[in-house]
Amino acid sequence: MIDVRKFMLKYKGLLSAAGMILAVALIFWTVNTPAIVGASATQRELPIYAVQRDDKVVALSFDAAWGNEDTQTLIDILNKYRINATFFVVGDWVDRYPESVKALADAGNEVMNHSSTHAHFSSLSRDQIIADVTACSEKIEAVTGVRPTLFRCPYGEYDDHVIHTLRDMGMEPIQWDVDSLDWKGISAEEIRTRVLKNVKPGSIVLFHNAAENTPDALPGIIEGLLADGYHIVPISQILLTGEYQIDNTGRQYAKR
């Protein structure tokens, strides 16, 4: 921040009264201009919400924290269309349903970390976050043989402290840019319409494994995406490799 008083004292011999007024005005404009504010905003620690892609590729993701009634049905639907998705599972869910975790992985789907106990991460210390994430990753690895590299914050909640800690652990935090709203109990047709209307190249779509109408909505969504020329892949295959940046909307793009 510029100290206006020191500036005026330093240059008072060089500036006329009118020039001094103009100089001070320019200083205040520079400090408070939206461009500067916007630049600061982009320095926030953000997860990846979507990816800048020129090709028509999209990722479907499912959060698994509580119920398990429909997991096998979802696996069967994905298998029918020969596609894979990313499932973010809670450690406690892994404890209860290890056979489903193995079935997801055996079918070629990604099994990623959704925390150990579905806690509010913004209220946790750095050490608590590390312990929680590590515990879940170890449970997943014990069942699937693969250690997770992606993380989705419980409740979608995060702050700079959370995201910075996750990246220090080598975990990439992932959000979504298309919410199916299946968790609200809306109809299968509403879910299908909402997803197909809002998806775009590089989108990450959010579903839940235990939402009431997701199994009925999923086939129509997949068929609609495929008919529109989309290639459906797990999240790790949609992410950019090498150097990248994340804009203030959470979109990942190649570093320029």
Residue 39: band (very low, low, confident or very high) from pLDDT cuts 50, 70, 90:
very low
Shared domain check, 26 and 75 = no
101 and 188 share a domain? yes
What pTM value is reported for the model?
Answer: 0.83
User: pLDDT tens across 109-135, in order?
Assistant: 999 999 999 999 999 999 999 999 999
Model confidence over 76-89: pLDDT tens digits?
A: 999 999 999 999 99
Within its chain, how far is the Cα of 152 from the centroid?
7
Residue 45 lies in a domain: no
The number of distinct structural domains making up the chain is 2
Q: Is 205 left (phi over 0), alpha (psi -120 to 50) or beta?
A: beta
- The whole-number pLDDT of residue 256 equals 78
Asked whether residue 179 is assigned to any structural domain, the reply reads yes
- Residue 157 in any domain: the answer is yes
In this structure, are 18 and 92 located in the same domain? no
Dihedral in degrees, nearest 10, Cα atoms 217, 222, 227, 228: 90
When computed from its CA atoms, the radius of gyration of the chain, rounded to whole angstroms, is 23
- Kindly state whether residues 27 and 69 are assigned to the same domain: no
Enclosing domain of residue 26:
4-32
Q: Quick one: 78 and 114 in the same domain?
A: yes
Residue 192 lies in a domain: yes
Residues recognised as catalytic: 63, 208
* Distances, alpha carbon 120 to alpha carbons 78, 124, 174, 179, in Å: 31, 7, 16, 20
For residue 27, give both structure tokens. Answer: 């200083």
With a cut of 70, say whether residue 37 has pLDDT above it.
no
Same domain assignment for residues 156 and 198? yes
Q: How confident is the model at residue 2 (pLDDT cuts 50, 70, 90)?
A: very low
